[in-house]
Amino acid sequence: MSYANVLMHFAARLDDRQVDDARAALAAVAGVARVEPGRKLRQLLLVDYDPRVVSAQALIDAVRHRGLAPRLVGM
């Protein structure tokens, strides 16, 4: 299986609850293989996903439904 990966960037540093919410929202999306927060920069999430199953726009939408406003880096 071939996964794509993107960085989700948030304008502000995420607190622990926001990271957990974003991770849960993304983990619930079919085709998402991994979601990891940035180790040094708390406004980043690394997302590995199967582009044959889910679009990058669907990843953004899943997080926006939680009240967060990400941008994708590396697209």
CATH of the domain at 37: 3.30.70.100
How many domains does the chain divide into? 1
57 vs 40: CA distance, rounded Å: 25
CA torsion sign, 2 to 52 to 44 to 71?
A: positive
State the DSSP code for 18: H
How far is 73 from 15, CA to CA, in rounded Å?
A: 20
- 19-71 pLDDT, tens digit per residue, is 999 999 999 999 999 999 988 888 999 999 999 999 999 999 999 999 999 99
Nearby residues of 51 by Cβ (< 8 Å), 6 or more positions away:
4, 31
Total count of residues recorded for the chain: 75
pTM of the model: 0.87
Q: Summarize pLDDT for 25-38 with one digit per residue, the tens.
A: 999 999 999 999 98
Domain range for residue 17? 4-73
- Can you give the pLDDT at residue 46? 94
